[in-house]
Amino acid sequence: MRAARRAFITAVVASAAAAAYLSTPALLDQGERAALVVLIAAAGLWITEAVPLVATALLIPLLQSLLGVQSFGDSLRPFFDPVVMLLLGGFLLAAAVEKYDLDEYLASRVVSRAKADVRILLLVMMIATMSLSLWISNTAAAAIMMTLALKLVEGSEEKGDNFPKVLVLGIAYSATLGGVGTLVGTTTTAMAAGTLKRLAGVEITFLGWILYGLPVSLLMVLVCWALLLFLFPCGGGKPPTPELAMRPLNRRQRLTLAVFALSIILWLTERIHGLSSNVVAAVITMILFFSGLLDERDLSRVNWGILILIGGGLSLGEALEVSGLMNRIGEALLILTRGAGTILIVLLVSFFGIVITIVASNTASAAIFLPIAIGIASSTGISPTILAAIVGITTSLDFMLPVGTPPNAIAYSTGKVSLREMIKAGLILDIFGGLITSALAITIWPHIA
């Protein structure tokens, strides 16, 4: 972004924040007005990306301190929230898996067994991508599986053949869908858990989130598979069968696989051993370093910017809570939704989460909308866990544009799919995502919450 444009947008955001502060003395007290300035500044800069997202995240505690919302120390505390430790452990585990090519090995093992027809191969590839994305970043999962996909269609593409197209789209979309299935799959789910704990005092365990997110992932992958085959028919026929390298695992790969399996077991049995998911992440981190699987050079593999961004989002939510502004927002939304039933509110939250993530990054969208959704929950009597889970999931469901998510960009960069085709499939999938998430939130989730 050019310096002049950046300066103009920053000035507009600052003017909007100042106008909100000066026009609300009769409606809000001093602390609430100060928190409103922080909210408008953060939302405006995150949505426009006038400055890097990380810079806006660091601006949030600074503004809180300068405006008197919280002390600088208190506003920085969320940057090392337990959920940040959980994600750090997840990132380091993924770094070890990628460092020793274990991800490619596992993916190749799955693909080598899919020999029925192209439609079954597509489903197998999508499920494999989703499964990989549950534990490593969506981007890494998409990149690994896309490499295998391009090898599968290499030299087999004919004019009018839709298989390469549906394969790259299916992998991109499945990588995104897998991320919402666990707390370490994508940043928005971790933010939902962290914000819920800080603002509502409710803790979601690792297994608890799986009960919310994994059904969405599985149902959406099946819907996506059927939708892609409907929009871009492939017919039957045996899939291409290129040779995939299948070398035996070496000692370090076997050790990494053992640590990976141990982490999953510990995360899924939290209620048995009593260690919280973030403590498990810390234990796994220590094992990775003390075993020599990782060293200090591997710290560069961690996306530190995302961790700072999550800290900024949690700090923003805490500012709204301690100032009382979140309650005011909830009261205002209660008036706007007066007479609306639970079903309508759930649908509104679901689709607003999808819409906001079209114009802002997934993490920024979650940071902005999560405190508001929890405020709606406190004002309407709906479980805050349900609304937080909805936001954590729907702010990741961005399938329409190449710039929406890194997996989308990877799919588009292959040249196998046009922008028009991605928009057509992505728009329909966005709608299904909102409807399926809402349906589960209304029918199944109340029994879990």
Average pLDDT of the residues in 361-385: 85
Average pLDDT of the residues in 374-395: 90
How far lies 99's CA from each of 34, 145, 257, in Å?
46, 16, 12
Give the whole-angstrom CA distance, residue 117 versus residue 108.
17
Of 372, 102, 148, 146, residue with least CA distance to 260:
102
**Lowest-confidence segment of 162-176, 213-227, 260-274 by average pLDDT:** 260-274
For residue 187, pLDDT beyond 90? no
Which of 188-197, 216-225, 296-305 is predicted most confidently?
Answer: 216-225
Do 216 and 436 form a contact (C-beta atoms < 8 A)?
yes
* This prediction's pTM: 0.77
Q: Where are the alpha helices (DSSP H) in 49-162?
A: 53-67, 72-76, 82-99, 102-111, 118-133, 138-153
Average pLDDT of the residues in 259-268: 86
**Lowest-confidence segment of 99-108, 117-126, 186-195, 351-360 by average pLDDT:** 99-108
Which pLDDT score, from 0 to 100, does residue 236 have? Answer: 62
Of 260, 319, 302, residue with least CA distance to 65:
319
For residue 41, pLDDT beyond 60? yes
For residue 156, pLDDT beyond 60? no
Residue 239 is classified by DSSP as: P
Average pLDDT of the residues in 183-203: 89
Which pLDDT score, from 0 to 100, does residue 361 have? Answer: 73
Give the whole-angstrom CA distance, residue 323 versus residue 148.
51
**Lowest-confidence segment of 134-143, 241-250, 321-330, 372-381 by average pLDDT:** 241-250
In this predicted model, what pLDDT tens digit does every residue of 273-293 receive, in sequence order?
888 888 888 999 999 999 999
